[in-house]
Chains A and B, each alone.
Chain A
């Protein structure tokens, strides 16, 4: 009797761990395979292998030394960083007002902000194109910094509002009793407490801007002004047989490794930020 019971328990544990292994393998395998491919050149590329059996830096050298890929990387870093700083700057004061002050229409305003963050970006594409052309920033990094505000700003406001709402009221009351103005409360009292939240939100917004494709494809038109997602998407030969898979995989690994490292370092914070914001980065 005891024997069969144990058998059932062992089976259950085994099945559970099989599921766990399956989840880990299917999550990691595609990226592993991209890394594997990125180190293959020539005919090795067209031989399917499951383990690393050939090793060459050729694709990386090709991607980094020819074409405009290094330039695209710089564009992406500059655009994403500037977008995030701008969004955080505008969002801090706004989320203070939204989380700590009671005023008429606040609920409606919060819902509007959430709606904008979930906006179908194609719905504003035509109008944004006109605005960007008339501002004279078409095909410059500023076109992307400008347009990325549409999703980074509502997102940062929403997440920072949730974070600020949970700060204890006593801290603020003490500051009010001491005669601090709202501005002083934000900069002197809340900012020091908000650092972790700012880092998390900033990181999520950065990932969003780094990965953005539709605006980047539409508002830039030359190799030098493109960001990396567009550069990778357009790395192709004339026909389906000329696609430089090795180079594409090398470029993909280069743009993904920093993100994966950042995400793994900050994983706890990212999970809490994601669930607070409920918005896909």
Chain B
């Protein structure tokens, strides 16, 4: 954080000149920030507020402006039947919604955990000095560069039940006793999604962790070597604590990405209830089922859930985004 502010310029004598200069700079800064702030307000702030507003109305796709305020009806409403029984309806008692929440959380937890472990392994490999390191780094950038839709299609072909190469390989190696309908089968659909996501995003995790690893001074390891510390112990006592800030930042970015996942699941396992996430369900309601207000309620809830999880993570994990003690 040493260079992030314009320290009082030493070359300029006199307090008056300095403060005038600072004022001029502060004024300029305001004008410089204005276009960006307006742009963000128009594309992010206002649409977010409108989405939240729609969730309290009865808006439909073709009747956005005639929408009427209905309070919390989209979230929870109840009617008491003649028999005296009370029936609850709305998002908060919708099993489909909670199923999607569960799918999303499960997906995020598994994918980020595996990506952190594999990312760490790849980063440790890339941090070692060996012949062909450049080739490995170039190779791991390929999954990252491939568009998500393309990787979803590539893998859905590779995971194809009859003609897929993974079933063929699994049978040849004796890992599978029969061909598996990976994406269609409710038991394996989530596994299929996880395989593709982990394949695609481990490189990103690895690169962020590698940046953290490269900041660890080499002489610590030399000292540990002289003291005869076992490499495994070196990893847990030196590497892991020192790379932790970078790892925590990498994990939060991946976590936020995983919690909003849409494209991979939409393409790889369409219409599968065992993988449908909050985003997929919300979009389906907004635009396919013409339940615009109900879909808005879902996207508002999704926003709340992600916000709460993020704040908890940053607070509990004491994450710093400025790169630690740089």
Residues of chain A whose beta carbon lies under 8 Å from any beta carbon of chain B? 16-17, 19-20, 23-24, 26-28, 30-31, 33-34, 37, 45-48, 50, 90-91, 93-94, 96-103, 109, 111, 113-114, 116, 118-131, 133, 146-147, 149-150, 153-154, 157, 165-166, 168-169, 172-173, 176-177, 181-183, 207, 210-211, 213-214, 217-218, 228-230, 232-233, 240, 245, 248-249, 252, 255-256, 259-260, 262-264, 267, 270-271, 274-275, 278-281
Tell whether, in the assembled complex, residue A48 and residue B168 are in contact, meaning their CB atoms are under 8 Å apart. Answer: yes
Specify the chain B residue showing the minimal Cβ separation from A36.
B165
- Within 1-46 of B, Cβ neighbours of A (below 8 Å) are at 3-7, 9-12, 21-22, 24-26, 28-30, 32-33, 35-36, 39-40, 42-44, 46
Query: Would you mind naming 12 contact pairs between A and B with Cβ atoms under 8 Å apart?
Result: A17-B130, A48-B168, A93-B32, A100-B5, A102-B5, A120-B259, A120-B299, A124-B47, A124-B48, A218-B287, A232-B150, A267-B141
Q: Shortest distance in angstroms between A67's beta carbon and chain B's nearest beta carbon?
A: 16
Q: Shortest distance in angstroms between A92's beta carbon and chain B's nearest beta carbon?
A: 9
Q: Quick check: is B221 within 8 A (CB to CB) of the other chain?
A: no
State whether A30 and B12 are in contact (beta carbons under 8 Å apart), knowing that A19-B125, A101-B26, A280-B204 are contacts in the complex: no
Tell whether, in the assembled complex, residue A125 and residue B51 are in contact, meaning their CB atoms are under 8 Å apart. Answer: yes
Most buried by B among A113, A262, A280: A280
> For the complex, would chain A's binding face be called helix, strand, loop or mixed by DSSP majority?
helix
Q: A48-B165, A153-B40, A166-B3 provided; 13 other pairs, C-beta below 8 A?
A: A27-B140, A30-B158, A33-B158, A90-B36, A97-B28, A101-B28, A109-B33, A114-B321, A122-B278, A130-B47, A176-B11, A245-B157, A280-B201
- Residue of A94, A126, A270 near B33 (CB, 8 A) is A94
Tell whether, in the assembled complex, residue A177 and residue B11 are in contact, meaning their CB atoms are under 8 Å apart. Answer: yes
Interface string of B261-287 (1 = CB under 8 A from A): 011001100000000001100110011
Which of B74-82, B90-98, B250-258 is the contact stretch?
B250-258
- Residue of B21, B184, B207 near A274 (CB, 8 A) is B207
- Within 46-105 of B, Cβ neighbours of A (below 8 Å) are at 46-51, 54, 64
Tell whether, in the assembled complex, residue B146 and residue A16 are in contact, meaning their CB atoms are under 8 Å apart. Answer: no
Tell whether, in the assembled complex, residue B141 and residue A120 are in contact, meaning their CB atoms are under 8 Å apart. Answer: no
Tell whether, in the assembled complex, residue B135 and residue A24 are in contact, meaning their CB atoms are under 8 Å apart. Answer: yes
- Residues of B near A119 (CB, < 8 A) are 44
Kindly count the residue-residue contacts between A and B in the assembled complex, taking CB atoms under 8 Å apart. Answer: 293
Tell me the bound Cα distance from A166 to B250 in angstroms. 21
Q: Shortest distance in angstroms between A176's beta carbon and chain B's nearest beta carbon?
A: 6
Tell me the bound Cα distance from A280 to B252 in angstroms. 12
Q: Quick check: is B111 within 8 A (CB to CB) of the other chain?
A: no
Tell whether, in the assembled complex, residue B4 and residue A127 are in contact, meaning their CB atoms are under 8 Å apart. Answer: no
Tell me the count of chain B residues lying within 8 A, CB to CB, of chain A. Answer: 106
Residues of chain B whose beta carbon lies under 8 Å from any beta carbon of chain A? 3-7, 9-12, 21-22, 24-26, 28-30, 32-33, 35-36, 39-40, 42-44, 46-51, 54, 64, 121-122, 125, 128, 130, 132, 135-155, 157-158, 160, 162-165, 168, 184, 199, 201, 203-204, 207-208, 210-211, 249-250, 253-254, 256-257, 259-260, 262-263, 266-267, 278-279, 282-283, 286-287, 292, 295-296, 299-300, 302-303, 306, 310, 321
Tell me the bound Cα distance from A97 to B148 in angstroms. 34
5 closest Cβ contacts across the A-B interface?
A: A127-B47, A127-B50, A97-B29, A120-B260, A123-B303
- Residue of A28, A126, A168 near B142 (CB, 8 A) is A28
- Residue of A19, A169, A252, A281 near B150 (CB, 8 A) is A252
> For the complex, would chain B's binding face be called helix, strand, loop or mixed by DSSP majority?
helix
Tell me the bound Cα distance from A165 to B306 in angstroms. 30
Tell whether, in the assembled complex, residue A30 and residue B29 are in contact, meaning their CB atoms are under 8 Å apart. Answer: no
Tell whether, in the assembled complex, residue A94 and residue B32 are in contact, meaning their CB atoms are under 8 Å apart. Answer: yes
State whether A280 and B257 are in contact (beta carbons under 8 Å apart), knowing that A23-B139, A147-B43, A267-B137 are contacts in the complex: yes
Tell whether, in the assembled complex, residue B21 and residue A176 are in contact, meaning their CB atoms are under 8 Å apart. Answer: yes
- Residues of B near A130 (CB, < 8 A) are 47, 50, 54, 64
Q: Shortest distance in angstroms between B180's beta carbon and chain A's nearest beta carbon?
A: 15
- Residues of A near B279 (CB, < 8 A) are 120, 122, 214
Q: Shortest distance in angstroms between B40's beta carbon and chain A's nearest beta carbon?
A: 6
Tell whether, in the assembled complex, residue B149 and residue A264 are in contact, meaning their CB atoms are under 8 Å apart. Answer: no
- Residues of A near B210 (CB, < 8 A) are 275
